[in-house]
């Protein structure tokens, strides 16, 4: 007789990732509990990690152009509504809502799984816009926004920070297509993507000398200890980063320093690690500007504009639903 199915998603995914044949994996979405989110925020201030600042700079510089190309006319009630997949602290979105407010009342639906992130975001942006926080998975939230809209409105979806880079190439197109299915022709998606750059620069961005990224990565094991009654010895694992030219991505791993056995009680699991065996925890794909255009077309959009930062190669692409 087999054991009853696990009723805990986290336990189930941890079990699946650590019992697969070959490369062990853990899903990167679990990096962001409260500790992980705070560590990620610290990463965004590191001199080696230019991604978030580039994202914010391009948005700041082109928010006006963006709103001009998406909004149809000055009118009240507002005809442009904005939704954001993964709102974070809302710092980047501020510039967009400020530009929008010059023409119409701003309506903003941040969609996030984290109640903490949503609260912060509502506090930050509440004075600028009517904020409707949606605690939901990206596509569930977006579907609900789509149901609430009224005829004549245009929906602008924001998916910033190169989070799309966490998806496998095919899954990224599937995800964009799923977004497209929530939209109507003329609606738009602003997609932030980190671009290919010299390997040394990428390795430094994901393996900073202060060890903040290492702590961010190791916290995944600490979280498993906290939430799934496990006994990972964090000091026996190390953060490793490699860049695959072929797959055009950074690959983040946790490497076991020794042969060891770890118990994860809530997942009803005992895992064996060989010396130097790794758990693959995150993939961060990097893009060439023309690849965004190809992905857009393959998912029912057309690329309407693209802005690139001139300090740190990062692109903001405006995809319009075809
Ligand atoms: C939040 C997914 C965009 O891929 O650069 C930062 C996450 N991981 N340092 C990225 C991350 C390690 C980040 N994203």
- Tell me how far the alpha carbon of residue 147 lies from the centroid of ligand 1, in angstroms: 31
Helix (H, G, I), strand (E, B) or coil at 165: helix
For the whole model, what pTM was predicted?
A: 0.95
Pairing of strands 314-321, 269-273: unpaired
The residue whose C-alpha atom lies closest to atom 14 belonging to ligand 1 is 163
Two tokens, residue 53: 């600042």
Out of 284, 286, 312, mutate this one to test ligand 1's pocket (max ligand atoms within 8 Å of CB): namely 284
pLDDT of residue 235: 98
User: Which helix (H) or strand (E) segment is 124 a member of?
Assistant: helix 115-125
- CB count in 10 Å sphere of residue 179: 23
- CB count in 10 Å sphere of residue 11: 21
pLDDT of residue 201: 98
Q: Which of 44-48, 54-58, 102-106, 225-229 has the lowest mean pLDDT?
A: 102-106
Q: What is the pLDDT of residues 98-148, one digit of tens each?
A: 999 999 999 999 999 888 889 999 999 999 999 999 999 999 999 999 999
Two tokens, residue 105: 């009342």
Q: What is the pLDDT of residues 160-174, one digit of tens each?
A: 999 999 999 999 999
Out of 40, 207, 216, 217, mutate this one to test ligand 1's pocket (max ligand atoms within 8 Å of CB): namely 40
User: Which helix (H) or strand (E) segment is 14 a member of?
Assistant: helix 9-19
The residue whose C-alpha atom lies closest to atom 13 belonging to ligand 1 is 163
**Measured from the CB, is residue 282 less than 6 Å from ligand 1?**
yes
Q: CB under 8 Å, gap of 24 or more: what pairs does 289-295 form?
A: 289/195, 289/315, 292/191, 292/193, 292/317, 293/317, 295/172, 295/173, 295/176
Q: What is the pLDDT of residues 19-35, one digit of tens each?
A: 999 999 999 999 999 99
Residue 76 has pLDDT above 90, yes or no: no
């Amino acid at each position: 007789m087999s054991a009853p199915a696990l009723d805990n998603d986290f336990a189930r995914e941890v079990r699946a990732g650590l019992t697969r044949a070959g490369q062990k994996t853990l899903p990167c979405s679990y990096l962001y509990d409260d500790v992980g989110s705070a560590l990620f925020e610290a990463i965004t201030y590191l001199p080696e990690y230019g991604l978030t600042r580039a994202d914010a700079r391009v948005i700041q510089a082109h928010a006006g152009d963006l709103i001009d190309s998406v909004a149809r006319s000055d009118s009240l009630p507002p005809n442009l509504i904005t939704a954001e997949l993964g709102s974070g602290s809302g710092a980047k979105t501020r510039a967009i809502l400020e530009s929008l407010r010059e023409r119409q009342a701003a309506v903003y639906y941040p969609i996030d799984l984290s109640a903490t992130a949503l609260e912060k975001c509502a506090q930050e942006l509440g004075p600028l816009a009517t904020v409707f926080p949606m605690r939901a998975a990206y596509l569930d939230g977006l579907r609900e926004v789509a149901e609430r809209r009224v005829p004549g409105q245009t929906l602008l979806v924001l998916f910033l920070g190169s989070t799309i880079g966490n998806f496998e190439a095919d899954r990224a197109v599937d995800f964009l297509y799923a977004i497209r299915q929530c939209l109507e022709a003329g609606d738009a998606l602003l997609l932030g993507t980190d671009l290919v750059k010299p390997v040394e620069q990428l390795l430094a961005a994901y393996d900073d000398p202060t060890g903040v990224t290492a702590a961010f990565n190791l916290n995944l094991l600490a979280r498993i200890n906290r939430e799934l009654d496990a006994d990972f010895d964090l000091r026996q694992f190390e953060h490793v980063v490699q860049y695959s030219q072929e797959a055009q991505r950074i690959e983040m791993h946790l490497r076991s320093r020794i042969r060891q056995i770890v118990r994860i009680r809530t997942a009803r699991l005992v895992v064996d690690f060989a010396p130097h065996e790794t758990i693959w925890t995150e993939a961060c794909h990097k893009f060439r500007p023309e690849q965004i255009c190809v992905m857009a077309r393959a998912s029912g959009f057309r690329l309407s504009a693209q802005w690139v930062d001139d300090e740190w190669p990062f692109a903001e692409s405006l995809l319009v639903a075809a």
